Structure 1
Amino acid sequence: MKVLLTAVDSKFIHSNLAVRYLKNFTKDLDYEGKIKEFTINDREGRILEEIIKEKPDVVAFSTYIWNVELISRIANLIKRVDSNIEILYGGPEVSFDSRSFLQNNVGEYVIEGEGEKTYRDFILYKLGKMKLEEVRGLHYKANEIVHSNEKRPLMSMEEIVFPYEEGEDLSNKIVYYEASRGCPFNCKYCLSSTSHGVRFLDIDRVLKDLMYFINKKVRLVKFVDRTFNCNSKFAMAIWDFLINQDTNTQFHFEISADILKPQEIELLANAPKGRFRFEVGVQTTNDEVLRNINRFVNFSDIKEKVLEIDALRNIDQHLDLIAGLPGEDYESFENSFNDMYEIRPEEIQLGFLKLLKGSSMREDADKYGMEYSPYPPYEILKTDKISYEELLKLKKVEEMVDKYYNSQKFKLIIKYFEEKFDKPFDFYYSLGMFFEEQGYFNKNIGNVEYYKVFLDFNELALKESNKYLKEIVRFNYLTYYKKRGLPDFLRSEMDREEEKSIKEKLREEYSFKEHHLEKFSMNIELYMSKDELVEETTYYLFNNNNEYIKLDNI
């Protein structure tokens, strides 16, 4: 018997944890379990072809909000090609309306909740060693009637197997790992609020697992633990271990900043720069709205700890906001954005509330006048406090923040514009509206054009001169992108004779195969250090490592 454990990831760089758990939890059984991974950008025809080519007896799909509609279509196509192939679904998107999902989709089985033990029993059933009705946690369809077996209790963490294989190629992948399951908090928008308590793997087991990633030189390991630092002793043991390793692997943790303890911050101060990355769910800086979603914390407490981490200068922080939360209007979200922007994290994620199946947020939808899409990902459309049109405005802001702020490649240019607006939100909103007016949201534009947008925005929307901005944009561009073949709008006024003369003076000291010479009509360093715009001829060398050298006495 052959089961094709099938994942449809949101991006190529992602790896699916669930199918690996299932395969390794059953590797001692007498069947063939094979993992097949695709992405939501793959053509339906290609996915179907690859699945049929494997000649499976059962196709097991890992379903989430981002892939369930595609999976439903693929399952339908599979049945049309070969009705003998059975379909098994599992994952969070089918765990809260399993009966309804199975009734309304092709296929024979749905696993509800944690999948490892249910999947193992399912395989035993297929091998003739168990009865179908004995497989706890399974829903199945017989003669178009859906039957539901007894629910399965949560498994012991000691039973969880390591999901990765020794010979597996994990290069260029984001590798996911969990050291615990569950969450101590009950945020209404989160599926973790539907189960209580947190279960932890044995710490020695975790450290052994992490050495696997380090030895394989994995680029990024992302812990999927909902609140990694909810157990201080456990978190500190892992951080201490990773701090003392000789590795370039980066580790990403989702933490609750407000519960960080002084001894944890003291330990984190020892981490090599870039070793850790923290994701902090701020969601809103409005304390009343935080209460509405069962987050009993004040933004001031979160901010205090985030700033303490920032002061260490060795950990990147990714801060999240959610638009459309109950009780938050447009003005409140603006304030939340400006409050969070003041912290200057490395990344700001603006998300939009999703009323997930099984979350208690759905139960409050009428109370707060919430209208949301009935289709995955169930995103908010409007509430009694914020309109659909206002949410559309925030989407424009989100795109500008993601492209320009989060890329970290436009810092000098952003600095120039921030000084022209009263609040950071106003800048990103104005830039987003300019993008809309120019039609940029409806076409693909290249890296060079993303820089030119600022010159057009300054000239057409703000009605200001590009005298200094052009120099700032050019300098910013040269610190990140290729130095030769600059587009016309970024070229300096240095003529060939002047360039040749300067290079002759410097040829013994610098190789011009590795360095690029540029002339500027303003003092860039003075602007960077003191915000002063001073007209002055200056020269810089830019190398292939995105470093620059100011040339004096030229």
Structure 2
Amino acid sequence: MKAVLFALNAKYIHSSLAPWCLLAGVEAAGPAGVCAEVREGTVNEPERDVLARILDGEPDAVLFSCYLWNIRETLRLAAAVKAARPGAYVVLGGPEVSYNAGEVLAENPQVDYILSGEGERSVPMLLASLAAGRKPEEAAPPIPGLCARGFLSAPCVEEGAPPSPYAPAYLENLRGRIAYLETSRGCPYACAFCLSGRCGKPRWFPLEQAKRNILTLARSGAHTVKFIDRTFNANPAHANAILAFILKHYGRDIPAGVCFHFELAGDILREETFALLEQAPPGAFQLEIGMQSFCEKTLAAVRRKTDTGVLKQNIRRLVAMGNMHVHIDLIAGLPHEDLRTFGESFNTGYALGAQMLQLGFLKLLHGAAMREEPEEFPCVFSEDPPYEVQKTPWLLPEELDVLRVAEDALERCYNSGRFLETAAYAMAAAGLSPFVFYCRLGAAGARHGTANIPLDDYTAFLYNWCAALPGIDKACLRDAMVRDRLATNSTGRLPQCLHVTDALLGRAVKRLAQNPATAPLPGVRRGVALLYGARQVVFVDYTQKNPVTGRYLLHTRSIDNLFTE
């Protein structure tokens, strides 16, 4: 029997670990008469191309990994596979079908079986049964997590460590894409909006296995190795051992420039972990910390155990280290959070100074308590993926729209790193809180139609909008925008809205070049501009970005002193 283990990724840069885990399970079990291989595609590819890739070699079974971002395309592909090869078995698995298997089977006649939960053991058992011509429902011992019409099983949760998916074929397939690594499964929390707590109690895989896998992936050519442990520091000893191992080998067995990404619970960080994180070379670590909300009533309602005071203190401490990109999350649409209290959470999170503040929207996932307990968590949400919240007892649809346009402004100005100084100046000068600033900017952007305009056009829009705010000095605003553009655009060119014809600029460029302390580096592009509010000349040599902020280093000299030095 020929089996294809298939995953549809959101983008090419993403690689899917799931089918390789399943392949490792098949190869470890060695079911008789079964030959399996992994194939991948992206949701942006033409369906006919992806289908041809799946059907190449005329497989007898196709197993799809199903997620929130690919379920619609996956179900269409499954139907196309069944139409092209009616005798082939179509099997689904993954979080998007594990908790609603009966519904999926009833609505999709092209699907023969669903494997709910972990699949390293159940996939080879299913394929062995099909290869032998036996009904999987009658297998002895039973196939864990197997679901068929009239036959449903609970999601499979294993106890031991799965076989390693990092075979040579996986590494060859990476081709520089993001590599994913798990050193544990399960989550110690039971948040009502999340599925991770449904995956059993946390279990940590052997440290020696984790260390081998770290070295393997770091040497694979991947620029980013992302740990997918749901709470990486839930076991401090395990987390610290891994951090210490990476630091010991970084720049030697681990190539310099590889970035490791971890998801942490910020309020349970220990001193030993802080000490290790502080030693990381700039850009070697990225930290993602899910705050979700700072409203205590909201956190209690969604069963999220967080000491918000300690969380804020620890995030500030991590950001102050300056050697790591820190990413923090908020979720709009949670219980007991209206526009006012969400704004308070937003302002609190923004003030922590992380490099990214992600404003996400509640998604009612199959299997999550917030979807399965509507009496306790009343809200209206989209029936189609990604099941995003549309209305709650605390947030009206039009208020959610306010937050959506604020998210767009936040992404363009802050999370992109492009207009950090502009936003900071405008908020301070106009006396606006971050939440009010981004809500108003987002609304203006929506009216102006800024969704897909070029960067120079957005710069002009942002300048004009900020210039109309009370308390704004246009020269100081231009200074901030010039600094932002020079720090983030390696052409050194300013857009027309910031361009000023001034003979003094040419004299300043010449003077900088004559001074050995400020002369440009040979063969390196330089950007130079005049700052009229500060009476300075600013210049930047485009050699290397800061690996944490993604910005180039700016230098300034007083215009009054430049010609007397």
Using structure 1 for the length normalisation, give the TM-score. 0.90
Measure, in 2, the Cα distance between the counterparts of 1:48 and 1:387.
Answer: 42
Measure, in 2, the Cα distance between the counterparts of 1:384 and 1:204.
Answer: 50
How far residue 449 of structure 1 moved from its aligned partner, in angstroms, is 2.3
What is the count of residue pairs matched by the alignment? 537
Matched, 1:416 2:425: yes
* C-alpha distance 227-494 of structure 1, shift in aligned 2 (>3 A): same
Aligned to 1:526: none
Aligned to 1:200: 204
Cα RMSD, aligned residues only: 2.6
Residue by residue, what CA displacement relative to the aligned partner does 1:232-279 show, whole Å, maximum 9, x if unpaired?
Answer: 111111111111112322111111111112222123222222222111
> Which of 35, 40, 48 pairs up with 2:38?
35
Measure, in 2, the Cα distance between the counterparts of 1:359 and 1:165.
Answer: 36
How far residue 460 of structure 1 moved from its aligned partner, in angstroms, is 5.1
Aligned to 1:400: 409
Measure, in 2, the Cα distance between the counterparts of 1:392 and 1:345.
Answer: 25
How far residue 77 of structure 1 moved from its aligned partner, in angstroms, is 2.2
One-letter amino acid matched to 1:215: R
Measure, in 1, the Cα distance between the counterparts of 2:26 and 2:442.
Answer: 51
* C-alpha distance 386-539 of structure 1, shift in aligned 2 (>3 A): closer
Residue by residue, what CA displacement relative to the aligned partner does 1:159-212 show, whole Å, maximum 9, x if unpaired?
Answer: 432344365242431111111111111111111232441111011111111111
* C-alpha distance 149-504 of structure 1, shift in aligned 2 (>3 A): closer
Aligned to 2:274: 265
Gaps of at least 5 residues in structure 1 are 523-532
Aligned to 2:359: 350
One-letter amino acid matched to 2:380: E
Matched, 1:435 2:471: no
Residue 3 of structure 1 aligns to a residue whose secondary structure is strand
| 8 Å CA contact retained: 2:99, 2:155 | no
Measure, in 2, the Cα distance between the counterparts of 1:439 and 1:448.
Answer: 14
| 8 Å CA contact retained: 1:413, 1:472 | yes
* C-alpha distance 17-236 of structure 1, shift in aligned 2 (>3 A): same
Residue 123 of structure 1 aligns to a residue whose secondary structure is helix
Aligned to 2:143: 136
> Which of 287, 306, 312 pairs up with 1:303?
312
> Which of 93, 98, 101 pairs up with 1:98?
101
| 8 Å CA contact retained: 1:327, 1:368 | no
Measure, in 1, the Cα distance between the counterparts of 2:153 and 2:526.
Answer: 70
Measure, in 1, the Cα distance between the counterparts of 2:319 and 2:492.
Answer: 36
Matched, 1:186 2:190: yes
Matched, 1:329 2:332: no
How far residue 45 of structure 1 moved from its aligned partner, in angstroms, is 2.8
Aligned ranges 1:116-195 → 2 under 5 Å: 116-128=120-132, 132=136, 133-134=138-139, 135-137=142-144, 139=146, 141=148, 146-148=149-151, 151=154, 154-165=157-168, 167-195=171-199
* C-alpha distance 549-308 of structure 1, shift in aligned 2 (>3 A): closer
Aligned to 2:76: 73
Matched, 1:491 2:499: yes
Measure, in 2, the Cα distance between the counterparts of 1:169 and 1:49.
Answer: 18
Matched, 1:46 2:49: yes
One-letter amino acid matched to 1:540: F
Deviates more, 1:421-430 or 1:166-175: 166-175
How far residue 504 of structure 1 moved from its aligned partner, in angstroms, is 10
Measure, in 1, the Cα distance between the counterparts of 2:540 and 2:337.
Answer: 49
One-letter amino acid matched to 2:334: L
Residue 183 of structure 1 aligns to a residue whose secondary structure is coil
Measure, in 2, the Cα distance between the counterparts of 1:476 and 1:232.
Answer: 39
Aligned to 2:549: none
Aligned to 1:319: 328
Measure, in 2, the Cα distance between the counterparts of 1:399 and 1:219.
Answer: 27
> Which of 454, 463, 475 pairs up with 1:446?
454
> Which of 227, 230, 235 pairs up with 2:231?
227
Aligned to 2:20: 20
> Which of 339, 353, 375 pairs up with 2:348?
339
Residue by residue, what CA displacement relative to the aligned partner does 1:26-49 show, whole Å, maximum 9, x if unpaired?
Answer: 134443322221122222233223
Measure, in 1, the Cα distance between the counterparts of 2:154 and 2:167.
Answer: 28
Measure, in 1, the Cα distance between the counterparts of 2:504 and 2:316.
Answer: 49
Deviates more, 1:504-513 or 1:346-355: 504-513
| 8 Å CA contact retained: 1:7, 1:38 | yes
Residue 161 of structure 1 aligns to a residue whose secondary structure is coil
| 8 Å CA contact retained: 2:10, 2:43 | yes
| 8 Å CA contact retained: 2:508, 2:537 | no
Aligned to 1:8: 8
Measure, in 2, the Cα distance between the counterparts of 1:297 and 1:517.
Answer: 46
Using structure 2 for the length normalisation, give the TM-score. 0.88
Residue 378 of structure 1 aligns to a residue whose secondary structure is coil
* C-alpha distance 63-249 of structure 1, shift in aligned 2 (>3 A): same
Residue by residue, what CA displacement relative to the aligned partner does 1:412-452 show, whole Å, maximum 9, x if unpaired?
Answer: 212221212331111111110110110123xx222222322
Residue 37 of structure 2 aligns to a residue whose secondary structure is strand
One-letter amino acid matched to 1:127: A
How far residue 153 of structure 1 moved from its aligned partner, in angstroms, is 5.1
Aligned ranges 1:222-261 → 2 under 5 Å: 222-245=226-249, 246=251, 247=255, 248-261=257-270
Aligned to 2:548: none
* C-alpha distance 438-465 of structure 1, shift in aligned 2 (>3 A): farther
* C-alpha distance 306-125 of structure 1, shift in aligned 2 (>3 A): same
Deviates more, 1:388-397 or 1:364-373: 364-373
Residue by residue, what CA displacement relative to the aligned partner does 1:449-501 show, whole Å, maximum 9, x if unpaired?
Answer: 23222212124566966333234322321222243664432323234994598
Measure, in 1, the Cα distance between the counterparts of 2:465 and 2:99.
Answer: 47
